[in-house]
Structure 1
């Protein structure tokens, strides 16, 4: 039962991620919504996308932390689409797990009912 609830929560989260990266309903993938404005973290796929040529940031005398990673160029897919596809795959796996969990729950409840009737 716990897994079925977790799978439902996971599907909901991944639907939000898809809407976030496809900018549905006023969401913007350039906003700091996922990081709560606490860090400069961005999607891993932004710098390491499929077929991307990554550019290293120019060397400077400043701190290494102050250098922002440079997104790759020439990518086969934009990082937002890769994130959306990744979340869609997660939803598919979670839905299969949810169906299996419901099946197992139904088997256990049928066994309990048959034991109570005897």
Structure 2
């Protein structure tokens, strides 16, 4: 039961990561955010790999999962910097998120809590097949919602990384100790040899 503590905790964090990633994937699909959609898909695959490695005692899978979490933290840190416009990053460069295939941005921009969307009719700024809108009255601006979402992902990833390293170390130690006693060594165990019982009978010679 004690050995299950780390594994069960890691599986729990992986499940939380999976739910959070699926929720984020849905809203990124609604906003046509193609770069985050691709990153979310890779993250979901890595989390599933981490769950499988934890359940099946595969330390290599956990190492791959831990390496991905480092990249995932970096990606979410970039998302935070992008929406807060840190340095030279600007939200006007929406091609970073959409691969320059659409003018859509975060879904929360128009659908945030308390947001009132007003279309601007016959605006000369509207590109072909698009319209201009004004958004007002939001209780929380969309960029802060995206920042909170990315910060949550970083929080879960950090805990997942720590537990993945711990559980992977436990698995490796168990494998080494099992090898030492001949658990996986084909030469460490020899089957008992069957001994043949011969019945001795006296020999009679005629005189």
TM-score, normalised by the number of residues in structure 2: 0.49
Q: What residue ranges of structure 2 are gaps of 5+ in the alignment?
A: 1-62, 123-127, 182-207
Q: Superposition RMSD on alpha carbons, in Å?
A: 2.0
Q: What residue ranges of structure 1 are gaps of 5+ in the alignment?
A: 60-64
- Residue equivalent to 1:49: 112
- Residue equivalent to 2:188: none
- Residue equivalent to 1:62: none
The structure with the largest strand share of the pair is 2
In the comparison of the two structures, how many residue pairs are matched?
Answer: 113
Q: Where do 4+ consecutive residues of structure 1 move more than 6 Å?
A: none
CA distance in 2, matches of 1:78, 1:46: 7
TM-score, normalised by the number of residues in structure 1: 0.82
Query: Structure 1 residues 107, 49: closer, same or farther in 2, change over 3 A?
Result: same
Higher CA-based Rg: 2
* Greater RCO, 1 or 2 (C-alpha within 8 Å, sep 6+): 1
The Cα shift of 1:71 comes to: 4.9
1:7-66 alpha-carbon deviations (Å, 9 max, x no partner):
11211110000010011121001212222322112111111112212335649xxxxx81
